[in-house]
Amino acid sequence: MPDTVIVVDAILFDMDGTLVDSTAGVVGAWNEFAKTYPGIDVQNILSSAHGVRTVDNLKNYCGITDPVLLEQEAERFEKAIVTTASQDGGAGIVRLPGVDEAMKELAPRRFFPKPLWAICTSATRSYAAEALKAADVPVPDAFVAAEDVQKGKPFPDPYLLGAEKCGVDPKKCVVFEDAPSGIRSGNAAGCKTIGLLTSHSREQVEGAEPTYIVKDMSQVSIRCLPDAVEITIHA
């Protein structure tokens, strides 16, 4: 198969599972919360909660409905991700393969008024800032966090707002996502989507119907043009 080349006005990245890996911390945080909410099934949650906002997961799995408590517990959960990620020999929060190369090209083009890329994450802004700092990933001016939208992934809101912050039509954007809920969000926003096989099986990713599928960011090359981005998907 030949390589595939696409040109878009902007790239919209998910964070966890796409740019950084915080798996050890997420597992640790859910294990911590199982002490407070003993009825939760951590293994079941880990297989289905990825890519969804913390507040939505805590509503769904811990039964928290009080908005004040929900906000407090979401903050506690995300702090637990950071603190447990490197415990017991854990790797901490790290960059995923191919991200270094992509950021060398993209980092200089992350600023307003015309950023060529955004991060659209289901994490809160405070946790996302800590995670990106820990993994040494630059933070773009165009940044969408959990609290910036009324409805998180799989609804289109995060990626619609990401495209808006980049000043481009979402139909002229490509979304990089590892979670089925995030791929569905990108599709619903009208973007092209590239599904990464970093956290879910090929079957699960295919089920979300991305435009393209790659192993991880190492399977793509990115080149910034004056007002667009060229992406080569290597066969």
Catalytic center residues = 14, 16
Which helix (H) or strand (E) is 232 found in, with range? strand 229-233
Residue in 95, 231, 210 with CA at minimum distance from that of residue 154: 210
Cβ partners under 8 Å of residue 196, min gap 6: 17, 18, 176, 177, 178, 205, 213, 214, 215, 216, 217
Sign of the torsion formed by the C-alpha atoms of 95, 96, 101 and 103: negative
State how far the Cα of 12 lies from the Cα of 120, in Å rounded to an integer.
Answer: 7
CA distance 95 to 106: 15
* Residue carrying structure tokens 């796409």: 18
